[in-house]
Amino acid sequence: MSVATVVAAEEVHVIARGTQGLEAVPLRVENETARPVACAAAIAHWYSAPVGTAAAGGRLETRLWSKPATGEVLLLNAQEDQMPIQSLWCGYAGEDVSTRSDIRLARRAGTREPAIDLICREAAGSPALDCRRRGAQ
Nearest C-alpha neighbor of 50 from the set 62, 37, 39, 59:
39
Compute, in degrees rounded to 10, the torsion defined by CA atoms 101, 113, 50, 104: 20
CATH code of the domain occupying 23-133: 2.60.40
Task: Tell me what pLDDT residue 15 has.
Answer: 80
Single pTM value for the model: 0.86
- Checking if the pLDDT of 5 tops 80, the result is no
Lowest mean pLDDT among 7-11, 26-30, 97-101: 7-11
Amino acid at 115: A
- Across the range 1-22, mean pLDDT stands at 75
pLDDT in tens, 46-67: 799 999 999 999 999 999 999 9
pLDDT in tens, 78-112: 999 999 999 999 999 999 999 999 999 999 999 99
